[in-house]
Amino acid sequence: MPVAAKSPIALAALVLALQAASAFAQQQPITPLTAANASAGQERRSTLDDQQSIAVTIYNEDLALVKDARNASLDSGTNRLALRDVSARMRPETAQLRSLSHPGSFDLLEQNFDFDLLTPAKLLEKYVGRTVRVVKTHPTTGAETVETAQVLAASSGVVLKMGDRIETGVPGRIVFDGVPPNLRDRPTLVTELQSKRTGPQTLELSYLTGGLSWQADYVAELNADDSALDLNGWVTLTNRSGTAYSNAKLQLVAGDVNRVKEELRMAKADRMVLSGAVAAPSPMAQESLFEYHLYTLNRPTTLADNQTKQVALLNATGVPVKKELLLNGSDYYYRASVGDIGQKLKAGIYVEFGNRENAHLGQPLPKGVVRVYKRDRAGNAQFVGEDRIDHTPKNEKVRLHLGDAFDVTADKKQTDFRRREPTNKASYVFESAYQIVLRNAKTEAVSVTVREPVPGDWTMLEESQTHAKVAAGTAEWQVNVPAGGTMTLKYRVLVRY
C-alpha cells in the first residue's frame, strides 16, 4: 500500500532508511549465491591498487596482448577472486591466470567475465519481474510517499505495475533492494580456483583484447628543389578498451598476423562462463620477432582510456628523393577504334626514396600514412599531399602518390586503327597509332614519364622517341617538355592476341 497516511517526519525517516539500505547494498562485495561460493567464502577483490606491473603489446588491426601482474592473498582450498579493471574488450577465451611467485600452486576451476556494467537502465532491466519502491514528492507540500511497484518492462521505456494500475515512465525516484550479483560497476574477471597454499602470491593475468590499436604516421618535408626530404615518424596509439594502463611497458608488433576471423567477437550483454597528448620524442628499439618486427618503448608510458597518444618512432634528415610526373595509359584502346581518348589529362605527381642506410634511413618502416609538406617563399610549411605505405623492409623503396599536376597536362587521341587479316575470323591482330601532346605551363622544363600498358604480343612499328620495355606488357617514354611549351609523342604498335 502507499504510505501516504504516515506523518511527514516518519515518512522522511523511512525514505532515508531505504536510501541508506540501498547505498549500503551497492557498496558491499557482489557475491553470487552459488554452492561453489558458499564453500569458497567471501569474494576477494583485486583492484589496480594491487597491480605490480602492466605490459601491453599492441598489434595492427585492433588487437593487443595484456600482461597484468598483481599481488593477491589466497587461502588453502577454494577461492573466488574478482580481478577488476580489466579490459572491457577482453577476449575471455584467451585469459590465463598463473602464479609468478609460486608456479603451480593453484588450479583454475572456472572463470566468469562480467562486463554488464552498472547503470540506471541496466539496473532496471535486471529488476524486470521483481519489486522496487517508488518515492514520490508532492509538488506543493513537498511530502513524500512510498509505493511498492513491480517492474514489467524496461527495454524501450519503463512499465510498472503499482497496485491495481499500470504506469509507464518513471513516476518518481526508484529505490532498489540491492545490486544483482552479475552487474558490475566496471569490467571484472571472476576466477574460481583451488589453492594448495595459504598466503600472499604474485599473480599474472594475460589476455588478448580489442580496443587497443596503433598506426604509424609520418611527416615529411621536401626541400626547395624536391631533391631531398626530412622524415619524422610517429606511433599513434588509441585506447578504447574501457580501462587505463598506467606506467605500462609498451611494445608494438609490425606485421600482418593471421587471425581466425570467426573467433573475434565483441563482448555481448551476457555473463560468460569460460573453460590525447603528445609524448616527448623518444626513440623506440626494434628487433625481429618471428617474421614480424617488434618495437619497444624504452620507458614506461600511460595509456588512458579513450585517449590517443603519439610516441616518436624515427627521425631522418636529408633523405634523397626522386620526383616523377607520370602519365598513365590504359589497355582498352589497343583492340578497338576509339578516336579521341582524352583532353587535358593530368600527370600524377610521385616522389620516391630508398629505405637505405646511405639514404639516412635503413630501418623497417611500419605501414601508415606519410604526409608531405613544403615551405613556400615566406617560409611557411604547406601541405602538398599524402599517401599510405605498407610495411616496408630495409633496403626497399617507398613510392608516394601526392596528387595530380596543375600545370602539366596531355591531349591523347588514336590516329589510326585497323584489323590485320580482316577476313580471317580466327586472327586477332590489330595495328593502331597514337598521338600524345604534352603541355607544360610552368616556368621551367619538366620531364614526363609516359607509361602505356600494351596488351598481348606487341611490336612497336614506329615512334617519334625511343621507348623502354620496362615490363612484358608495358612501354615507357621519358619526354622532356620545355617551359611554357609543348612536346608531341607519336607511335604505332602491332598487337597480337
| pLDDT 10s digits, 419-442 | 887 767 767 899 999 999 999 999
Parallel/antiparallel/unpaired status of strands 228-239 and 307-320: antiparallel
Split at pLDDT 50, 70, 90, the class of 268 is: very low
What CA–CA distance (Å, rounded) separates 108 from 99? 11
Cα 316 → chain centroid:
26
CB burial readout 270-307, b (16+ within 10 A) else e: ebeeeeeeebeeeebebeeeeeebbbebeeebbbeeee
Instruction: Grade residue 283 by pLDDT with cuts at 50, 70 and 90.
Output: low
In a domain, 457, yes or no: yes
Distance CA 231, CA 313 (A): 11
Is the pLDDT at 482 greater than 80? The verdict is yes
pLDDT at residue 237 tops 80: yes
Q: Which of 92, 84, 109 is nearest to 30 (CA)?
A: 84
Is 162 inside a domain boundary?
Answer: no
Three-state DSSP class for residue 69: strand
Sequence-distant (6+) residues with CB within 8 A of 472 are: none
- Would you give the end-to-end CA distance of the chain in angstroms? 92
Is residue 326 domain-resident? Answer: yes
Domain that holds residue 434: 322-349+403-496
Cβ–Cβ < 8 Å for 396, 316: no
pLDDT digits (tens, 9 = 90+) for 204-217: 999 999 999 999 99
How many domains does the structure of the chain reveal?
1
- 431-453: b (≥16 Cβ within 10 Å) or e: bbbbbbbbbbeeeeebebbbbbe
Q: 239: closest CA among 277, 195, 283?
A: 277
Domain membership of residue 296 (yes or no) is no
Note whether residue 477 is domain-resident.
yes
Q: Does the pLDDT of residue 121 top 90, yes or no?
A: no
Q: Residue 305's pLDDT band (boundaries 50, 70, 90)?
A: very high
pTM, to two decimals: 0.73
The verdict on residue 197 lying in a domain is no
Pairing state between β 322-328 and 446-453: parallel
pLDDT tens digits, residue range 189-198? Answer: 999 999 999 9
Q: Is the pLDDT of residue 37 over 70?
A: no
CATH code assigned at 410: 2.60.40.1170
CA distance 452 to 440: 20
CA proximity to 110, closest of 180, 37, 29, 44: 37
Residue 135 lies in a domain: no
Q: What is the mean pLDDT of the chain?
A: 86
Q: Residue 383, Cα to own-chain centre: how many angstroms?
A: 25
In a domain, 285, yes or no: no
3-state secondary structure 283-315: CEEEEEECCEEEEEECCCEEECCCEEEEEEEEE
